[in-house]
Structure 1
Amino acid sequence: MQTLIQLKRGELKGAVSLTLSEGLEHFPEEIFELSDTLERLDLSSNKLTALPIDFGRLKNLKVFFCSENLFTALPEVLADCPLLDTVGFKSNRIETVPGRAINLNLRWLILTNNKISVLPPEIGRCSRMQKLMLAGNQLTELPDELKNCQGLSLLRVSANRLTALPGWLLTMPKLAWLAISGNRFNIKPDVLPPAFIDWANLEIKQLLGEGASGMIYKAATNAGGKEVAVKVFKGAVTSDGFPEDEMNAYIAAGHHPGLAKLIGQIKGNPEGKTGLVMELIPPRFFNLGMPPSLASCTRDVFKEGFNLSLNQVLKIATTIASLAAQLHRHGIMHGDLYAHNTLIDEAGNTLFSDFGAASFYDITDEQPARAFERIEVSAYGYLLDDLLFLCNEKGNESILKKITELKNECLAPAISSRPGFEYLTAELGRLLELN
């Protein structure tokens, strides 16, 4: 992070990236002195309410984050930056999105946690759009023009006021990661809560990690001293939706060897927060991938030099397919099926995590239920593509060829022609036995 003093002194001349977070109330005009080189600008966590009328002077700007400010409307001047690719205005006070503000070059737009009730039809002219994040707003419908964004791969519309999903959404050829919970059309399944565990009977030891929806701690139970993992939900809307929906989906998922076992639900948290107690994942497990970068947008990235054997690939692929099949039998769409949510060990044993984007759907409504599963199958196809890329074992060409064929079937543009997870589980299980 740089400072305003450095900027004013001219010490940042030639900068490609600039981050300023100093409670700014006005856009620093000195930023324009970087217009020949500046590609990434982050002005999040300030007190800005407007951008200058000549913002388009930043002709090389590709990425602009302005989250956690005080904007009430998406600035129209965003459309004046010819190369702008990624825009984030999360957690402002935005009520209005003028059509003029939609930069047609956008590939990734983040408007999470605002007060937006209407999207302009101009959004449908963003032919490059791949990732659209709208959770935590007040939308009652999606504009029909959005169906023109045929490259849209990830859509977050959880925690809005949608009364229905448009039929065209379930035919989008590239859509793979969809979060829709917390809307007026959602069903509210009866979820039998697990045993309650009193907060006073947990000894919190250390923070293991933090996600969009909560904090994960290593803890011990006072009864026997068993080490467990405790996820405490933050209680606010996240980029994926409501923590309550995440908790209910995890509970409803049931037992599966690909899931960390659920032990109970906390009660008596001193701050009144909810949470879950789960088996502690052994330290030998590690994340298969890392979240998408700004450049990769919707695709995970991997550590350089990281490889997998064919046996590992098959074990990972079979476990995830089997778990996904179980979820969809329960009417649960995970919504975030990615390598970065997949934990593996050196033997290829696999655990799946993060139900933050999970949604329930009515499995008795056959046509949309089939579409929801096939949308998730597309995400699984991308995971197979990643696994094939990571596979360093080229000995059994017939098995690799079959995995490639399954991947291509999963990524078929026509949703109705994609296989289901039950079929994928059976086919990959057979390949695992053959290997």
Structure 2
Amino acid sequence: MAHFPSMDDKCAVLHLSRLQLDDLILDHLTDSKRQQIQQLHLTFNRLLLLPPSVCFLSNLEYLDISNNALTVMPEDIMRLTNLKTFVAKNNLLDESSFPKEFERMQVETLNLSGNRFGEIPVQFLKMTTLQSLSLGGNRLKTIPAEIEKLTSLELLYLGGNLISFIPPEVANLTSLRYLVLCDNRIQSIPPQLNKLHSLLSLSLHNNLLTFLPREILSLVHLQELSLRGNPLVVRFIKDMTYDPPSLTELAGRTIKSQNLPFSSCDLPSNLNHYLNLASKCPNPKCAVFLSLQLKPTERRGVRGGEQRPCRQAPESAAGIGQTDQLPVTAFPLNT
């Protein structure tokens, strides 16, 4: 048990982390002092319950009670009508820990990663003000179809669970910008996700994906797509071979990149021959040319139904010759 420290008249943020607190007493504070508190940090303490005094901080907007041993949220938490950000990572909370009325809270950011949730509580699925929902590192097996009701959601973090299926209703989260589903057991991606036109980042690494639907290519604003650790990528890497550049190729690149003057009499015949191959790559498996005239990247299907990006191809052999650039050996396309 600990008493509240002294505070000045302008104090709005209170950091009470790592103090081994098992309770918090505010009896000596006036109402005006309590109303000044807008942010409260109680992380890394010994709290088994949310201290009752916290629920009487009427102007509290930010509450972080991560890394304690909380198992339940009291009904008095409903008194925090101004609460916008609620963080309770790494506790012992589950789907039965929150009062039914919690759905009426106007919380915008809810982070409950590292707890014991076996399913997403029904209350959370009715919180239409939510912009960020993080439930990573729990025991979730499913994503309920009712997730589509969270129409304001911009970030959905469900990494590190036991999820095997993505319901197509996720595609109705039209405001979603960040979708994190890494470290699960997901085997396929619903093509309906192409409706997530605001999506900037899609994290799917360490799942069981064997292919991607062609529709995923229509996510024109997507900036990050993480797929490592899936059978799709593992097989792709195993199938690839890499032909390292020869000494002749390296010498030719150096001459061209440094614009070194030369004549045919100055160089060995094999290097002269290589320098005259600017319109044709000496590596028959190579699909990449260093050129200023490139077509937009195309995509095509290959065996197993998976979609792979084709390398950029030259506009024409003449185009390569005009730019006078040497071909670049790269990963071959083993189709």
Question: TM class by shorter-chain length?
Answer: 0.5 to 0.7
Deviation at 1:30, TM superposition (A): 4.7
CA distance in 2, matches of 1:52, 1:29: 10
Q: Who is 1:167 aligned against?
A: 168
SS at match of 2:50: coil
Q: Who is 2:111 aligned against?
A: 110
- Structure 1 pair 156–142 and aligned structure 2 pair: CA distance change class (3 A): same
CA distance in 1, matches of 2:177, 2:28: 38
SS at match of 1:121: coil
CA distance in 2, matches of 1:92, 1:155: 20
- Structure 1 pair 183–360 and aligned structure 2 pair: CA distance change class (3 A): closer
Q: Who is 2:64 aligned against?
A: 65
Structure of greater Rg = 2
SS at match of 2:125: helix
CA distance in 1, matches of 2:175, 2:149: 12
- Structure 1 pair 112–37 and aligned structure 2 pair: CA distance change class (3 A): same
Q: Who is 2:215 aligned against?
A: 370
SS at match of 1:35: helix
CA distance in 2, matches of 1:13, 1:26: 24
- Structure 1 pair 138–60 and aligned structure 2 pair: CA distance change class (3 A): same
Q: Who is 1:432 aligned against?
A: none
CA distance in 1, matches of 2:171, 2:55: 36
Q: Any idea what the Cα deviations from partners look like across 1:73-92, whole Å, max 9, x if unmatched?
A: 34443332111000100111
Give the counterpart of 1:25 among 22, 27, 51. Answer: 22
Contact 2:109 2:130 in 1 (8 A): yes
- Structure 1 pair 79–119 and aligned structure 2 pair: CA distance change class (3 A): farther
Q: CA RMSD in A?
A: 3.5
Contact 1:336 1:358 in 2 (8 A): no
- Structure 1 pair 104–174 and aligned structure 2 pair: CA distance change class (3 A): same
Contact 2:117 2:140 in 1 (8 A): yes
Deviation at 1:137, TM superposition (A): 0.1
CA distance in 1, matches of 2:56, 2:120: 26
Structure 2 unaligned residues grouped into runs of 5+: 189-198, 225-308, 314-335
- Structure 1 pair 79–31 and aligned structure 2 pair: CA distance change class (3 A): farther
**2:132 aligned with 1:139:** no
Deviation at 1:145, TM superposition (A): 2.8
Give matches, 1:308-327, under 5 Å. none
Q: Which has the higher strand share?
A: 1
Deviation at 1:380, TM superposition (A): 4.0
Contact 2:35 2:59 in 1 (8 A): yes
- Structure 1 pair 47–13 and aligned structure 2 pair: CA distance change class (3 A): farther
**2:88 aligned with 1:89:** yes
SS at match of 2:133: strand
- Structure 1 pair 32–86 and aligned structure 2 pair: CA distance change class (3 A): farther
Contact 2:184 2:206 in 1 (8 A): no
CA distance in 2, matches of 1:12, 1:50: 27
> Taking structure 2 as the reference length, what is the TM-score of the superposition?
0.55
Sequence identity of aligned pairs in percent? 21
Give the counterpart of 1:15 among 11, 18, 27. Answer: 11
SS at match of 1:64: strand
Count matched residues.
214
Q: Any idea what the Cα deviations from partners look like across 1:261-319, whole Å, max 9, x if unmatched?
A: xxxxxxxxxxxxxxxxxxxxxxxxxxxxxxxxxxxxxxxxxxxxxxxxxxxxxxxxxxx
Q: Who is 1:184 aligned against?
A: 185
> Taking structure 1 as the reference length, what is the TM-score of the superposition?
0.43
Q: Any idea what the Cα deviations from partners look like across 1:233-285, whole Å, max 9, x if unmatched?
A: xxxxxxxxxxxxxxxxxxxxxxxxxxxxxxxxxxxxxxxxxxxxxxxxxxxxx
